[in-house]
Chains A and B, each alone.
Chain A
Amino acid sequence: MKQLLYEVKKCLGCRSCEVACALAHSLSGDLYKALDEEKLSMPRKKVLACGGKNYPVSCRHCEDALCVDACMAGALVFDKQKGQVLHDAERCVGCWMCVMVCPYGAIRPDIKDKMPLRCDKCKDKDEPACVKACPTRAVIEQEKAEVKK
């Protein structure tokens, strides 16, 4: 089970991760074509500056996730095997309860599609786009067990 970590002192706040994330979730996956898409793809993470440092903020896939509890449509579930909070778009009605309760502010409402935007760890790809894109390797993907020691 892998999780995303951020080495804050390496983060320059260049937002390459944001761009890569938006691109990875666009229809075409190509930067120039993506800019032309009818609905501009939005990043699932956001870099916030605070106290002279930069912090990439995105879904942490909490095991006791408040968003899962709050979801009145049963569209969010924590999948133990994958170690991820999964979202069922077919069940989701865009009520924004998940946005309301996420203590990290890591879920953004996509008003047009009535869908919450949150990190899916680039589910179909071998490595999350943000990890690949970070020029200073501030975004790290690591096994969860390694973190605990």
Chain B
Amino acid sequence: MKQFVIIGNSAAGIAAAEAIRKADKQSAITIISDEDYPAYCRCLISYYLAGQVLVDKILYRPENFYKENNITLLLNKKVERVDPKKNRLVCVDKAQIPFDALLVATGSSPKFPEVKGIKKENVFGLRTIKNATEIAERLPMTKTACVLGGGLVGLKAAYALSKRNIDTKVIVKSKQVLSQMLDFAAAGFVQRRLVEHGVELVLGQDAVEIIGEGEIKAVKLDSGKAIGCELVVVGKGVKPNIELVKDTGIKINEGIIANNLLQTSIPNIYTAGDVCESFDITVQAPSINALWPVAVEQGRAAGVNIAGGNIIYDGSLGMNALEFFGLAVVSLGMYKVPDKDPSYEELVLDNPKEETYKKIVLKNNVIVGVILVKKISNSGVFLSLMRKKADVSVFKNSLLDDNFGYPAIKDLMPDKERIYV
């Protein structure tokens, strides 16, 4: 009987625990979390803040999950340091936890920009259920809010606040929202929807100071202008939680470096999820894709390997689906051509009247990026072509057709076709 320890109780940690338990009914599994909540759907906290999801629906697994799978859950416990030499963890409360194999799935934390006043009360990240609850508690005393950052978290925060009738302005350094996942044209569709529904966007300007003695009064911009508000939510991206492995011999870069078995540089220590720097299959370079489905995929692979299996993980790719006020958008991989590089090709269908937009980025006839606005049903078909690095030259001309779909690609797929006889 072995002792398997997982640090992190979200998508990657749970997927790993389930995979280990499936293969190994005997060994002890311990999950450690520095939060005080059983696993919940982290991506739903903005919906929770918006009042659209109740707290009992936010749990990711049934209440008896840990008991049923014979998993020890340690809540409110923070690991200070991993000690690979002695195969043990040292916690902030001085407790020591031994392990035979370890999964570091510590996730990431909101990045706070270095501007004056950022440490004030009523400046929040939106990452945990605790954050959402604290913001919600302030809302009765709040009329106006500023969101710093026009990425997915920032926009979801703005959406939630406006649903709660808070007058919300989003301050975006870039000239467009979602600059990490959409091109200028596609972002335009999202921006129009947001503005139509009362979310105000301040584009091309950055916050330089949060003004106020004690209570927040305003956010000062680099243009010199100040925007009055009582609450600030920061959505300026995330940074991987790697402090506990620093100077331990475990190799780190931006995140913890993983090989294709999701092992770190120490063979009995694995990593998965937002903290894991694996390989990006479209960029063809090491990268972190801090996304829920990627965390599940990596957690499962790490869990299987921890339990003695052998899953080769060939990497992840950036992907996201979103919806604001009824407009669905999907972004996959490299959503725009790197600076005028002639080896890339773009297929675009832009129909502002119907509010549809499709873009496919190709390199050597292999799809490396996709943006779909409104008509998103085919995105999984494109995603499998991207994962398989399939040459699409045979049907390149029909990729943008509404009728393009799985039947056109089925012969390229490695699995034997089972349902068409």
Contact = CB atoms under 8 A, between A and B. Distances in A.
Interface of A: 3-8, 46, 48-51, 53, 55, 57, 60, 66, 69-70, 72-74, 90-91, 93-97, 99-109, 111-112, 114, 140, 147
14 contacts: A8-B421, A46-B405, A50-B407, A72-B41, A74-B59, A93-B44, A94-B323, A99-B377, A101-B293, A101-B319, A103-B380, A105-B377, A105-B405, A109-B328
Contact of A5 (B322, B330, B421): B421
A32 B413 CA distance: 41
A100 B380 contact: yes
B299 to A, nearest CB: 10
Contacts of B377: 99, 105, 107-109
B383 A3 contact: no
Contact of A73 (B41, B380, B408, B419): B41
Interface in B228-279: none
Given A48-B406, A96-B330, A147 B418 contact: yes
B44 A72 contact: yes
Given A8-B420, A99-B380, A70 B296 contact: yes
Contact of A50 (B378, B408, B421): B408
A60 B380 CA distance: 14
Nearest to A67: B380
A103 B379 contact: no
Contacts of A102: 380
Contacts of B292: 70, 72, 97
B342 interface: no
A5 B319 CA distance: 31
A97 B293 contact: yes
A103 B41 contact: no
A5 B384 CA distance: 22
Contacts of B326: 111-112
Contacts of A109: 323, 328, 376-377
B146 to A, nearest CB: 25
Given A55-B410, A96-B328, A100-B319, 13 more contacts: A4-B419, A6-B419, A60-B419, A69-B293, A69-B297, A73-B44, A93-B44, A100-B320, A100-B321, A100-B383, A103-B413, A105-B379, A108-B377
B60 interface: yes
Interface in B189-248: none
A109 B296 CA distance: 23
Interface string B314-354: 00000111110010101010000000000000000000000
B421 A7 contact: yes
A93 B52 contact: yes
Nearest to B408: A50
A111 B328 contact: yes
B25 interface: no
* Nearest 6 Cβ contacts at the A-B interface: A50-B407, A96-B321, A102-B380, A55-B407, A70-B293, A72-B43
Contacts of A91: 57
B405 A57 contact: yes
Interface residues of B, number: 46
A21 B406 CA distance: 20
Contacts of A111: 323, 326, 328
A5 B377 CA distance: 22
A93 B47 contact: yes
B407 to A, nearest CB: 4
Contacts of A69: 15, 293, 296-297, 300
Interface string B390-421: 00000000000001011110100100001111
Contacts of A57: 405-407
Contacts of B380: 66, 99-105, 107
Contacts of A94: 323
A105 B420 CA distance: 15
Most buried by A among B328, B380, B403, B413: B380
B407 A99 contact: no
Residue of A5, A7, A51, A74 ringed by the most chain B CB atoms within 10 A: A74
Given A70-B296, A94-B323, A96-B321, A48 B330 contact: no
Nearest to A108: B377
Give the most central of A90, A105, A106: most B CB within 10 Å: A105
A102 B322 CA distance: 16
B123 interface: no
B87 to A, nearest CB: 31
A103 B406 contact: yes
B41 A74 contact: yes
Nearest to B297: A69
B383 A6 contact: no
B61 interface: yes
Contacts of A51: 407-408
